């Protein structure tokens, strides 16, 4: 049975499919997820939804894989880190908006998958948590970069050093969660419908400039926005003339 379900249309649906293990990330699931993200990147999808089958979004890295990486096969660790970091980067760099639909738990690597999305929606009481330090490792899939920008430096440090859990309700106040839904599918429908109402090139250019803001000065980013706007207007005019 495939550990990742993939459906591609205007909306691409990527579903982690290991519900009996709370969608814990083993090597097979991570490999299938990488392949799914690549398919979406090469498609005409206009928005991507990342979710988990069953009652949990993702419980983090599978403990057997964690043990193998830290105890048995430590010589392969640099390659393994490259693999998961490339996966997170590929999600982050998708040209369309990415929505993470999160229920119950987003722990460790699961939290970092959610952080790679542009938008996060969650069910009431969902818990977001950094747990890597409890196993003698650090979160290396983007949390140490993304969390401070999303929830603020102080909260990010507390989540890492104290392993403080953040609920969906707290996350909505902090900016970690965009909206809370009893029914995630309703939330997915509302968000995707809103996104699909705008031509895809608009969000593609907007996302490009947003990502550049990480490394550019304000003035440089204004110039990037100018260049993107010129291209965006040209494409919009082309569409209107059809």
Query: Based on the domain organization, do 138 and 207 belong to the same domain?
Result: no
- 145 and 213 fall within a common domain: no
Domain match, 172 and 204 both: no
Q: Looking at the structure, tell me whether residues 145 and 29 fall in a common domain.
A: yes
| Same structural domain, 80 and 112 | yes
Indicate the helix (H) or strand (E) that contains 5: strand 4-8
Q: How many domains does the chain have?
A: 2
Give the pLDDT score at 79: 87
Does the pTM surpass 0.85? The reply is yes
CATH code, 237: 1.10.12
pLDDT value, residue 220: 98
Per the listing, tokens 């909260």 go with: 155
**Co-location of 229 and 126 in the same domain:** no
Q: How far is CA 3 from CA 30, 128, 130, in A?
A: 9, 22, 23
Q: Do both 221 and 142 map to the same domain?
A: no
Same domain, residue pair 101 and 143:
yes
State the CATH number of the domain containing residue 153.
Answer: 3.90.226.10
Does one domain contain both 175 and 86?
yes
* pLDDT beneath 50, residues of the chain: none
Return the closest-CA partner of residue 33 out of 56, 11, 52, 59: 52
Residues 121, 50 share a domain: yes
**Are both 100 and 203 inside the same structural domain?**
no
CB 134 within 8 A of CB 161: no
CA triplet 77, 138, 31: central angle to 5 degrees? Answer: 50
pLDDT tens profile 105-140:
999 999 999 999 999 999 999 999 999 999 899 999
Q: What is the residue range of 221's domain? A: 199-241
Kindly state whether residues 185 and 213 are assigned to the same domain: no
Classify 152 in phi/psi space as left (phi over 0), alpha (psi -120 to 50) or beta: left
d(C-alpha 182, C-alpha 198), whole Å: 26
């Amino acid at each position: 049975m495939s550990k990742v379900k993939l459906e591609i249309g205007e909306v691409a649906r990527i579903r982690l499919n290991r519900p009996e293990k709370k969608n814990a990330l083993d090597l097979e699931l991570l490999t299938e997820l990488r392949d799914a993200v690549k398919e979406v990147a090469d498609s005409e999808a206009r928005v991507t939804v990342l979710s988990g089958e069953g009652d949990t979004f993702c419980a983090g890295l599978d403990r057997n894989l964690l043990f193998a990486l830290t105890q048995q096969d430590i010589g392969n660790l640099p390659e393994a880190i490259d693999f998961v970091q490339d996966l997170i980067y590929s999600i982050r760099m998708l040209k369309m908006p990415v929505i993470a639909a999160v229920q119950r738990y987003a722990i460790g690597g699961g939290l970092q998958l959610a952080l790679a999305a542009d938008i996060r929606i969650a069910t009431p009481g969902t818990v977001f948590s950094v747990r890597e330090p409890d196993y003698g490792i650090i979160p290396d899939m983007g949390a140490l970069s993304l969390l401070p920008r999303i929830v603020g430096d102080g909260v990010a440090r507390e989540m890492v050093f104290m392993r403080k859990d953040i609920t969906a309700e707290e996350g909505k106040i902090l900016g970690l969660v965009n909206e809370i839904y009893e029914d995630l599918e309703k939330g997915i429908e509302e968000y995707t419908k809103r996104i699909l109402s705008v031509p895809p090139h608009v969000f593609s250019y907007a996302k490009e400039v947003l990502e550049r803001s990480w490394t550019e000065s304000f003035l440089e980013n204004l110039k990037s926005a100018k260049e993107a706007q010129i291209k965006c207007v040209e494409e919009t005019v082309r569409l209107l003339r059809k």
